[in-house]
Amino acid sequence: MMVRPTDFFINVTDFFSVLLPGALVVYFIKGLTFSKMFGSEGVFPAPETALQAWLLFLLATYIIGHITFLLGSLLLDKLVYNKFLRITFFKRNHDLAYHSATLIRQRFIPTDEVLNQIRVTKKIVKDQYQIIKENPNRELLNTYKWVLSYFALHRPEVLAEVKKMEADSKFFRSLVIALLFIGVVLVLQGSGYAVLFFVLMLLSIYRYGDLRYKSTQRAYELILTKFHDKKLKKRAVVPTSHNNVERFQPSNEKTILYKDKISKITAGLSRKSTLLSIEEHNTWASDSRPNPSEFYCIEGKGTIKLLEKNGSDISFLSPGAIINVPPKTAFEISSQKGEPLLLVAVA
């Protein structure tokens, strides 16, 4: 039977970011308070064997390590990295890799579309919806975590480099808290060695920020390379006229499969409705029409691009989405790989 790293309860991240910084703090505390905490005059009885001493040390290391990990996450991630390091040292090339990866994530998890569906089903009240909608940074899942989840499901082996840098960055994040604690205690004791620990702390802060930035950038590079490679392998076929709508007629099997759902959508409509089936890597382009149009997505995922005079506007399609196209507006509907679209078009 092959033993894998995931079979252990303590993984690499736990070892570097929890146990090692915790061990440093516990060893420092041991030199200060061991005689006061253990023995006949202490709080706990002294360990009688080496095994007891090691078990006690490991338990204290695990507890203190998790406390330093928590403090590091609360203080360094939110305050030091996001508000200082990221802006001052690690904002390069206008964050193009991040913004490009975010566009890919939106194809799979369209925040505004899901948010609108939640509002329609009355899972949130109107005031809550408005507050979320006004937040420019609204997202269901941040881009970095989505990239990790995507590769964990499809290509976990490519995450080794990212995970290593992430584990190292979390080690230095926890180490900052450990060094800060030791330095403060030494200052209170009047020891000159406190300066050494504060210098090490500052260097650890920078190294933490450097490794965290590199891990996120590497993740974005991987997802961009993955989807750029997909585009190179198979280009989309783009009919450019509404006269080619016959090309996208669905098969009888697909029509029968969704017969009930199609009937519910088209029931009571006074305007003409048409079924469209757009296979993967295909695009249907339509010239502007005098009347407005509506598209109801039944199956698949893709995008609809409205070609307006002042630019284009892209909306994401997934089952349940309803997209309105204003009159005199040209548009293009494209499907994603492995996600052929089935639409009801009402014009």
Query: Whole-angstrom Cα distance, residue 283 to residue 278?
Result: 7
The CB-side HSE value for 173 (13 A sphere, CA atoms) comes to 31
Q: What is the pLDDT of residue 151?
A: 87
Give residue 8's pLDDT band: very low, low, confident or very high (50, 70, 90): very low
0.85 cut: is pTM over it?
no
Question: 11-25, 192-206, 309-323: which range is least confident on average?
Answer: 309-323
Q: Which three-class secondary structure state does DSSP give residue 299? A: strand
Give residue 235's pLDDT band: very low, low, confident or very high (50, 70, 90): very low
pLDDT digits (tens, 9 = 90+) for 258-283: 777 778 777 766 777 888 888 877 88
Q: What is the pLDDT of residue 68?
A: 94
Which one is predicted more confidently, 65 or 111? Answer: 65
Q: Is-contact 171 19, C-beta < 8 A?
A: no
